[in-house]
Chains A and B, each alone.
Chain A
């Protein structure tokens, strides 16, 4: 290392966001490169499944905050480094613009898109260079984000995160993942925190179920009101037979009454506790003793037994607590979900899955190994050297691809740095975006949480209706609460309206053009966000090819498919169009929940 670099390293202040798989390695590399002033932030605590790669943690650290333990481990190697650890979320209001401005460089080692988007905006606003990185199994990526020099993290639209319409989950599941989401919701209904978005009983509001000229009337057998599901469960003392008959017999019988649903679908078959318990095992699968218990697909009778057993165990665990939190690594919780998902799959004649596969889907598990993290973290710090010398042009994005059977070109660097997208709704000079919403049915509150927060990733937005100068959404408490339950058109937000949105924390102003839109098909999204009007056409043609085999594959993803999603093309064909469709997503990530949207 030459003298200017040594000096730059010794005097720089670095922020590492995340101390998981990549974060641990990055911290070690920084410490051994001569960095003296490091801050680290991570919200997570240490889990056993981290230990196969997050080498700053050991078994005795399980349950402790990652940031704190990582700091101690680095200090025990070199006590002379100044490290500050925050066990906190980077999206908290405590880490505003002035916090970010204190650093010479920010290194992301995150596991979810929302936090990545947020740090991207903070670094753009503070004009601090950011190195973004991630791994997923054998694949990985490192890229520099520097205002005015490179593209930002949000320049290229990313594929939307998987969501499922509520009525598909509650009424008409057709794939294993629908049953798995339902089973997780059932867990929360019985043992978890109450969440009205996670209802598991038949949805009588399903537009498809409505019969012309005939209103549905609630019938006694059909539905125990959501608020009292837990209460009823407690009244029957978590009796497994009664619970089973309610969810797998009575509710299914009620669904069958919504005849419209079953005109083109195979109707489900209600299942009683007695039938299920005495159902004969699927012998071909049972006798296959090669595979471990995890790999086997349980028979219906086994699922039923495990349902009863886990209800008993979870009931005990719940005693004295207000609720349980579902965790894929908690055995009874995971067993319960496996059993319920498979029982429901059986009822709807959907293929059943092994516990191992269900865990992958329910926990959204992305495989992770030490080797890929080590490579990526090394590249991150080498990029940081060049950034500190302001040698930005020498920081092209680098991709790691390990799966190719040609065993060539393990690391591939772009030929040059990527220019910013002039129409990016985050980093362009005048950020602008089109949104497509149903202005007659969407409430102001929904617009705030679903669009501004979830979709556009704002943290504390304010919105002013252009022309009228009226504040419709305010981040000040109490200021615009009266608008919450109003429909958009009731306060004058209609097709053609312009909203000036502003997030003070992110120092981010965005002009939002409203387009009235009503979903046509059942699978249409409830709303759409389009940064570049040219994309509209492209997006529609993609929608036209829906139900394609690739789509299906992605949903039933096992670990191989997850990797295929991240497969990158041959770097030798160095055109700039590659990779944009499939950026390695949510790397070293695992806890992003499967989302459900209400329909």
Chain B
């Protein structure tokens, strides 16, 4: 095999700059990020805060769509608008300011309203990896949400108003290979070792080792040895219950020490073997989420338009039908052992994983070929990564925002039973949006209009609630509060929200970690936040 091409100086520079984040999402995550195209609709303070947190880690490019001109109020809350830019295009000024923060990111702007862009440029928005919108009026939000839903482009809608924040994620289908589960047991397959592993493990008679070799034999070998002994004594059955495992543990603990002269201290590797009895004796099983994916229609009925994820899933399905287990992860945890025995074991696992990944790669290539797709649809490296994380696979199917707005019944009563539920703010925000469409201004935007606006907003909210057949009533002070904000953004609230939203966007772009499902409400007055599935 050829050695990797030497890195260009520019690349090593990048790896220095991005070192601290590569430790979270890896080179492959960074690659996806650097090839992503992000669209921001409206360069509000929240909008530029989100974009800033995406430009710093190095997205490929961004495009700002904003038909507004910079106002004095904008400058007061937005760090990325210069004080002498009042009256200029907000899209242009923000683009220039933001570009200064990372020379590796390209940026562009459209000095037109999103409405205008939608009606004049066909297929403008579907070329992006993700579209983010802030302060978007209902009448644009609904058609755009439909359009992006159909195009399967993730859509992130955010709003920051006073001490209130809201993020809503719309994904039609989003797949995750690396979910980064909080904890993971090693995948050792001691109950059903493949031939080469079994032969290797059987070749070492732990009881016959001298004291020195005893202390360097890997825990895995010890565990397998006593497991075999246990099975011999118990009619071939493996220990399942705690009591049965206790017996196995005792066998390991009582393992005879060859050197009779010295004090009997259980060596570290034997202690390790005892610990492994807790986690490594469960028969390999296929997690629910993975089984559901394998049984999914997308996996069974592939088309030419099926993305690589589903083609790999179909290949995995064939593999599982044949082997009845997922492919092995192929990594071995660190254990007290001498290098040679450890590396021998490590290579056995490594090779088995490579072998299985190779089988799945071939299946996937065959499937792709049968579908008439080009040879490079799926790469070997992709399959390796896929196999390594086969037990973590996730498919998220969200809901369309337009549906949520057009549905006549939205069942919120469950949440609204709790008078402290942040769901009330969702109701207020929906009322606020309707207010804006009806009156073309934020409630309370003009000081002398606060009281009449409160009444109007209450009316709208009451109507909404009755449309949704909700009997609950909103506390008046909450409506007053929102009218007092007058549509103004508080920078620190936008900063918090911007970080949250940018992070969700990174999850979507890198296909790592499970994204928010699907709405997040933040109340900066009480410092509370909540997630709802709408």
Interface residues of A (CB under 8 A from B): 1, 25, 28-29, 31-33, 48-49, 51-53, 55, 58-59, 77-78, 137-138, 174, 263-266, 282, 284, 287, 289-290, 292-295, 329, 346, 349-352, 360, 365-379, 381-382, 385, 394, 396, 398, 402-413, 547, 549, 552, 556, 559-560, 564, 567, 590
A/B pair count, beta carbons within 8 Å: 216
A372 CB contacts on chain B under 8 angstroms: 499, 503
User: Does B52 contact A370, Cβ atoms closer than 8 Å?
Assistant: yes
Q: Are B103 and A59 in contact, with the CB atoms below 8 A?
A: yes
Contact B1 A410 (CB under 8 A): no
CA distance A378 to B79 in the complex (A): 14
The answer to whether B338 touches A266 (Cβ under 8 A) is yes
Judged by a CB distance under 8 angstroms, whether B87 is at the interface is no
Chain B neighbourhood of A51, CB < 8 A: 17, 56, 102
For residue B182, CB closer than 8 A to chain A, the reply is yes
Query: Most chain-A Cβ atoms within 10 A of its Cβ — which of B2, B3, B18, B20?
Result: B20
CB distance from B176 to the nearest CB of A (A): 9
Q: Flag B489-505 by CB within 8 Å of A: 1 or 0 each.
A: 01111111111101100
CA distance A371 to B499 in the complex (A): 4
- Report if B65 contacts A (CB, 8 A): no
Assess whether B182 is in contact with A567, with CB atoms less than 8 Å apart: yes
Contacts of B77 in A (CB 8 A): 32
17 example contacts (A-B, Cβ-Cβ < 8 A) are as follows A32-B77, A32-B78, A52-B21, A58-B100, A346-B339, A367-B21, A371-B503, A373-B499, A374-B499, A378-B493, A405-B179, A405-B513, A405-B514, A407-B514, A407-B516, A409-B531, A412-B529
Query: A interface, by DSSP: helix, strand, loop or mixed?
Result: loop
Q: Number of residues in B with C-beta < 8 Å to the partner?
A: 90
B15: A residues at CB distance < 8 A: 292, 294
Contact B101 A55 (CB under 8 A): yes
Q: Is the CB of B343 within 8 A of A52?
A: no
Residue of B at shortest CB range from A264? Answer: B215
Judged by a CB distance under 8 angstroms, whether B138 is at the interface is no
Checking B58, B502, B514, B520 against A374 with a beta-carbon cut-off of 8 angstroms, the contacting residue is: B502
Across-interface contacts of A385 in B (CB, < 8 A): 492
Q: Is B237 engaged at the interface, CB distance under 8 Å to the other chain?
A: no
Q: Do residues B16 and A48 form an inter-chain contact, with CB atoms below 8 A? A: yes
- Tell yes or no: B506 within 8 A of A by CB: yes
Interchain CB contact under 8 A, A52 and B4: no
Q: With a CB–CB cut-off of 8 A, which chain B residues contact A376?
A: 499
Starting from the known contacts A51-B56, A350-B339, A373-B499, 12 additional A-B residue pairs (CB-CB under 8 Å) come to: A25-B495, A28-B495, A138-B503, A266-B216, A266-B338, A282-B343, A289-B1, A366-B20, A371-B500, A375-B503, A396-B527, A410-B531
Do the beta carbons of A289 and B2 come within 8 Å of each other? yes
Q: Does B150 contact A (CB under 8 A)?
A: no
Q: Which residues of A contact B336 (CB under 8 A)?
A: 174
- Per the bound structure, the CA–CA distance linking A31 and B83 in Å amounts to 13
Instruction: Name B's A-contacting residues (CB within 8 A).
Output: 1-4, 7, 13, 15-21, 23-24, 27, 45, 49, 52-53, 56-58, 76-79, 82-83, 100-103, 179-183, 212, 215-216, 262, 265, 267-268, 271-272, 275, 334, 336-340, 342-343, 347, 350-351, 381, 384, 394, 490-500, 502-503, 506, 513-517, 520, 522, 524, 526-531
Residues of A within 8 A of B53 (CB): 370-371, 374
Would B23 and A367 count as touching, CB distance under 8 A? Answer: yes
> In the bound complex, do residue A351 and residue B342 qualify as a contact, i.e. CB atoms below 8 Å apart?
yes
Contact A564 B183 (CB under 8 A): yes
What 9 pairs across the A-B complex have the smallest Cβ distances?
Answer: A374-B499, A378-B495, A378-B496, A375-B499, A32-B491, A371-B503, A559-B23, A367-B23, A413-B527
Which chain B residue has the least Cβ–Cβ distance from A353?
B334
Check if B216 sits within 8 Å of A52, measured CB to CB.
Answer: no
- CB-CB < 8 A to A396: which residues of B? 527
Do residues A351 and B491 form an inter-chain contact, with CB atoms below 8 A?
no
State A22–B514 Cα separation when bound (angstroms): 25
Report yes or no: B79 in contact with A360, Cβ–Cβ below 8 A.
no
Contact A403 B513 (CB under 8 A): yes
Chain B residue numbers with a CB within 8 Å of A411 are 496, 500, 522, 527, 529
In angstroms, Cα B370 to Cα A487, docked, is 82
Residues of A within 8 A of B517 (CB): 407
C-alpha spacing A378/B338, complex, angstroms: 50
